[in-house]
Amino acid sequence: RSSAQSLLRFLGFVFLGTAAAQALGGVLVILMFKNYSYLFQESYLSLPGWLAIAAALILLPTGVMASSTSIKSSRCQQGTLMYLLLLLLCLEVSSAVLASVYSLRTASQLESTMGYLIYQHNVSCSQDPGSRAVDVMQRKLQCCGVHNYTDWLKATTTSWHLPAHVPESCCKEKYSRCRGHLSHLEQLSQEGCLKKLEDQLHFVMLYVFWCCTVLSILELLAGVSNGILMRHQPFYDFLIL
């Protein structure tokens, strides 16, 4: 029983310390899909992030309760802790599964979506949502085209009249006079946007997945420890009867 109590207290402090890491993962996921909302139009894709934030908020009272639980604690406190651990386990597992599934699903759709936006890019209309989304993406990621700048040479829509140019959003930040001329390739970002965005998406989703997976295992250990204390804890609250 003393070992179970010590482990439970230790895990309580771990929960308090990892709540911030859990919340950070949720925020990264939400910002990822918000910043590139035109590429990820399904609103439910940010669900793993919201679940991770909800779990982080519940981790705080759970950590406090776990670190203060003792052998003589009331059945009410131990029971409440068990319910919180069960709720956390459901949130963590759901977030981990969704992060894994959505990561694979969105990665397979990115190439076709980005290719379509580049094909439909309208250089003469900066207010077009699709064109603006492409320009924002290329500036943020410092990239050009889907795989590289040559993807712009394949854009044959009627709105694209400058085959010797790429959008100015392909220019590197340090070249203020860059106008996207292919005759000055050193002024253009050479990497494509697809790989950079996929790497960013993979990192964020993998972070949430492993964070939730590790915390799920720790919550199972905390549940077992709390169960051991509950098993040896008589019903002190009802002795008056």
In this structure, what are the phi and psi dihedrals at residue 234, rounded to the nearest 5 degrees?
A: -70, 170
What percentage of the chain carries pLDDT values higher than 90?
30
Q: What is the per-residue pLDDT across 59-74, written as a single tens digit (0 to 9) for each?
A: 999 999 888 876 566 6
Closest by CA to 39, choosing from 165, 126, 138, is 138
Higher-scoring residue by pLDDT: 119, 84: 84
pLDDT of 204 reads 93
Residue 202 tokens read as 């993979």
DSSP string of 71-96? TT--HHHHHHHHHHHHHHHHHHHHHH
Q: What is the per-residue pLDDT across 142-183, written as a single tens digit (0 to 9) for each?
A: 888 888 888 887 765 444 445 567 888 888 888 878 877 777
Instruction: Tell me the CA end-to-end span of the chain in Å, nearest whole number.
Output: 26
pTM: 0.80
> Is the pLDDT at 1 greater than 90, yes or no?
no
Q: What is the per-residue pLDDT across 44-55, written as a single tens digit (0 to 9) for each?
A: 888 999 999 999
* Beta bridge partner(s), residue 165: 181
Nearest-angstrom CA–CA distance, 131 and 119 = 10
Distance from the Cα of residue 149 to its chain's centroid: 28
Mean pLDDT of the chain: 82
Query: What single-letter amino acid sits at 168?
Result: E
> Is the pLDDT at 123 greater than 60, yes or no?
no
Higher-scoring residue by pLDDT: 215, 148: 215
Q: What is the per-residue pLDDT across 181-211, written as a single tens digit (0 to 9) for each?
A: 777 788 888 888 888 888 888 999 999 999 9
